[in-house]
Chains A and B, each alone.
Chain A
Amino acid sequence: MTAPGAGLRVEDVVVLYRDDDGTTKAAVDGLTLAVAPGEVVALLGPSGSGKSSLLRAVAGLEPVARGRVTWDGTDLAGVPVHRRGMGLMFQDGQLFPHRDVARNVAFGLQMQRVPRAERARRVAELLDLVGLAGFGDRDVASLSGGERQRVALARSLAPRPRLLLLDEPLSALDRALRERLADDVRAALTATGTTALFVTHDHDEAFAVADRIAVMDAGHLLQVDPPAVLWHRPSSRRVAEFLGYEAFVAAGSPVGRALTGEAGAPAPDALLAVGPGSLHRVPDGVAATVRGAGFRRGVVELVVDVEGVGRVTVVEPSGDPAAALPAVGTQVTVRADPHRVAVVGGYG
């Protein structure tokens, strides 16, 4: 139903970053990415990987040194920021300090000359959507961090942007709030059918919100895939490492075969990525030494050294409250759950 080239296309884009000493380097280095209408794509990468620069270039806040940014096939070069019809949400909200909550949310509608009554209706609707019904006349200075981000979200959604850009919108918040708000953002985006590009360095957040995840590193795109594919089939060791995989082992090697057992790997020359939850303790398996143990939210995490593999986290349900954690130095044997081991290199 959508034409090829519909939505956002970033083609071979280079964004330069100028240091204070005058030297320039490429923050985004020849990157290509497409976001289809209605799709939510997360840009995931460590800090300094260029994801924010890309986002700002799409918004028109940074000049594109090379390549094109198009929307529905139309080049956006030369289209000023305020005519791109996009929304942008900052890490710290950047609410207008001289406007109350409702007038913050109404800003974009005001820019579109939406009639007053319609504006008020839309503001109420958006505040309701983000769970802040009745907050309209509050001073923004009186809001908590989470509330400010909700207002920022409502503000950027209100004008119905054709593309919403979110720049680490949740990273300033505490963990519980972040998780809850990630779900809320996802729900809000889905409910409004908004196309979105979501920058984050937190993969949990990316998995929770995105239809597809684009992993960025040093100005390049490493992999773009739906969350499940990305998780199970990281395209490279670098991607796997960034997703939290801890150790790598060739499927055909003796220890690889021993870990995966009969189920085996899809191909003997595949590289397996092992991470938290990939291994569990079994009576007979590969020998490992416990290096640390801890209790986390209903599970027990054991850090073990697996011979020939390296240090891996074993996650087990916590059963008996009275049971003691294994002491450091205890010898255990482990085996991999084939569904929880990723195959690096795009097999499958």
Chain B
Amino acid sequence: MTTLTAPASAPLAYRRSAVRRGVLWALAAAVPLAFLTVFFAYPVAAIVGRGLVADGALDLSGFADVLSRPRTWRIVGTTLAQATVGTVLAVVLGVPGAYVLHRCTFPGRTAVRAFVVVPFVLPTVVVGVAFRSVLAPHGPLGFLDWDGTFAGVVAALVFFNYAVVVRTVGAFWATLDPRAEQAARTLGAPPWRAFVSVTLPALTPAIASAAAIVFLFCSTAFGVVLVLGGTGYGTVETEIWVQTTQFLDLRAAAVLSVLQLLVVGAALAVAGRARTSRERALELRVTQMRLALRGPERRAGDVAAVAVTGLVVVGLLALPLLTVLVRSFRTPSGWGLGNYAALGTTGGPNALSVTVWEAAATSLRVALDATVLAVVVGGLVALVVSRRPRSRPARRAVRLLDGVFMLPLGVSAVTVGFGFLVALDRPFGIDLDLRGSLVLVPIAQAVVAVPLVVRTVLPVLRAIDTRLHEAAAVLGASPGAVLRLVDWPVAARSLGLAVGLAFAVSLGEFGATSFLARPDRPTLPVVIFRLIGRPGAENLGMALAASVLLAALTAAVMLVAERLRAGSAGDLA
């Protein structure tokens, strides 16, 4: 009654297909690796190499020289302190935010969620001015006396990176089974205890992911540090910038870049350890709870989380943004929409070669390309890294791959930008000058967006129980079908968010873009930078109106991403 099904030659054929599968996985890892090598590792190595090679020989005397300067250690200390404090604060404030905005439901939630991402993409020069006008002696928060201090810098870093924590942790939290915490409650744990001993450990992979990203952003923050730190406040990043662009001291810059890589590598290793030691398969389900702030179901934790989140959203995020918004309505002839009307022009007596709308269109197009690249490359990385291969070397390789793709966040934009110029005239000896190519702008943005995509998609993919794959395979699903029918629908929920973040980052990217910009086709941040670099209320007003436009575009993109997400979440129900 049963048929002999497999032909005699089957094992050989299957073995061949297994080999083919191995080759395909290797390719899936190779495509992103090639991308990263050409557009990141190679340029960075080229510029750092120039600093460390003198007369054709490796010259490490720069290390002794730079490392013996007391100033070097001071700026390393400042960098570490700034990044650590910024990260800790962003996490401490962001976790309650993740709870309120992703775990709970309340009217207006989607709008608030989109809003918190806006700071993340605003050009630093605008944020710098907005922040300083709030913190300056006559500003609304002047009494804090934070202008030009460490506290001011940290506040701005938290302002920028709050969304990273809320998004990364929130996306994960939304899929966490609440029953474990409920079990702990029934076992007699008070709510805070249940949270600390059950929920928090389960969130650790996502928190570690977010913290790693935030740490990298904080340690390589540039514009905001320059503006808010005041004179004398130096970080490794600003020092690399000064040494490279002003003094052309590539030797010092190279030594500092190596230092920066060491710091970043150490941070990634710590985060990686925290992630893997806690990582486990989780029951995936989307659970939403109603906030209980009043009545008999009132939960003290909810009240605290809402209070913290409200304070951050209003006090830290909204205040500087409101300053920008309000001032964007102020024209030389009083309050009005004049600055917005000016967006359709190249301005009056000033220096725009395109209208702001045209720049916005350029930005959108470039961001679209960058997003496609980042999602494809980042998606492949997340997919490969989410596998748990049997052999130890393969497992180690997968972990390494994970870390390597985070590096672009931790390397100075000026290093990458100069590296592009030095290395990409004849990449690997191929006669193809990429430096003037317009493709390079979306690529440079994608390099920065890939780590965000990876960090967003990966925790969700990793949380899929291996046995879910096995169940599908036993039911007849080929490895491809398992990817398509199990991993994809689950990961798609986080993909909308990844697309949104990648798009937002590309829209706001200024550092690397500024080295590749073509004056005849400026992006929105470049236009804003140019406008705010000119005197006069008209220019400032237009710059602020353009910033509001950029913020609105970002918020709109995030709202659409939310919708994509909701669409695929419907698939889960």
Contacts and interface: CB of A to CB of B under 8 A. Distances in A.
Contacts of A85: 5, 476
B35 to A, nearest CB: 30
B470 A61 contact: yes
B474 A87 contact: yes
Contact of A155 (B11, B468, B475, B489): B475
A222 interface: no
A74 B6 CA distance: 7
A318 interface: no
Contacts, number: 108
Interface string A111-152: 110000000000000000000000000010100000000000
Contacts of B476: 82-83, 85, 108, 111-112, 159
Given A97-B285, A108-B476, A88 B2 contact: no
Contacts of A322: none
Contacts of A81: 470, 473-474
B284 A80 contact: no
Interface string A52-93: 000000011100000000011111111111111111101000
A66 to B, nearest CB: 16
A234 interface: no
B269 interface: no
Contact of A72 (B4, B17, B475, B489): B4
Nearest to B5: A85
B477 A78 contact: no
Given A59-B474, A80-B18, A87-B474, A97 B467 contact: no
A22 interface: yes
Residue with the highest number of chain A CB atoms closer than 10 Å, among B4, B6, B10, B490 = B6
Contacts of A82: 473-479, 481-482
Nearest to A162: B2
A22 B392 contact: yes
B15 A78 contact: yes
B572 interface: yes
Interface string B6-28: 10001110110110000000000
A72 B481 CA distance: 27
B473 A139 contact: no
Given A90-B467, A139-B573, A83 B472 contact: no
Contact of A94 (B11, B14, B471, B490): B471
A234 B426 CA distance: 79
A159 B475 contact: yes
B465 A83 contact: no
A79 B14 CA distance: 6
B1 interface: yes
B151 to A, nearest CB: 44
B2 A6 contact: yes
A156 interface: yes
Contacts of A98: 284, 489-490, 571-572
Interface string B447-486: 0000000000000000001011011111111110110011
B11 A107 contact: no
A90 B12 CA distance: 30
Given A83-B14, A85-B5, A141 B468 contact: no
B28 to A, nearest CB: 18
A284 to B, nearest CB: 53
Residue with the highest number of chain A CB atoms closer than 10 Å, among B10, B284, B476 = B476
Contacts of A347: none
B145 interface: no
Contact of A88 (B18, B474, B481, B489): B474
Nearest to A167: B467
Interface residues of B toward A: which range? 35 or more
B433 interface: no
A83 B485 contact: no
Contact of A77 (B2, B11, B482): B11
Residue with the highest number of chain A CB atoms closer than 10 Å, among B485, B489, B571 = B485
B59 interface: no
A37 interface: yes
A295 interface: no
Nearest to A87: B474
Given A73-B4, A98-B572, A107-B477, A80 B17 contact: yes
Nearest to B488: A98
Residue with the highest number of chain A CB atoms closer than 10 Å, among B12, B17, B572 = B572
B283 interface: yes
Given A22-B392, A37-B1, A85-B5, A78 B14 contact: yes
A97 B471 CA distance: 12
A80 B14 contact: yes
A69 to B, nearest CB: 12
B77 to A, nearest CB: 38
A53 to B, nearest CB: 13
A156 B392 contact: no
B9 to A, nearest CB: 10
B4 A74 contact: yes
Contacts of B472: 96, 107
A78 B12 contact: yes
Contacts of A37: 1-2
A79 B10 contact: yes
Contact of A97 (B14, B283, B392, B481): B283
A100 B570 CA distance: 11
A60 B15 CA distance: 13
A133 B486 CA distance: 25
Contacts of A80: 14, 17-18, 473, 478-479
Contacts of A61: 470, 473-474
A156 B283 contact: no
B477 to A, nearest CB: 5
A173 B329 CA distance: 65
B283 to A, nearest CB: 7
Nearest to A108: B475
B11 A75 contact: yes
Nearest to A78: B11
Contacts of A73: 4
Interface in B220-261: none
A147 to B, nearest CB: 15
Nearest to B18: A80
Interface in B257-305: 283-285
A97 B284 contact: yes
B11 A79 contact: yes
Nearest to B474: A88
Contacts of A96: 468, 471-472, 485-486
A160 B481 CA distance: 19
B2 A83 contact: no
A97 to B, nearest CB: 5
Contacts of B479: 80, 82
Given A78-B14, A90-B471, A155-B475, 7 more contacts: A79-B11, A88-B471, A96-B468, A96-B485, A97-B490, A98-B572, A107-B485
27 contacts: A59-B470, A61-B470, A61-B474, A71-B2, A73-B4, A74-B5, A74-B10, A78-B11, A78-B14, A82-B473, A82-B477, A85-B5, A87-B475, A90-B471, A94-B465, A96-B471, A97-B490, A97-B572, A98-B284, A98-B489, A98-B572, A100-B573, A107-B477, A111-B481, A112-B476, A139-B573, A159-B476
Q: Which 7 A-B pairs have the closest CB atoms?
A: A78-B11, A111-B476, A108-B475, A88-B474, A81-B473, A78-B14, A98-B489
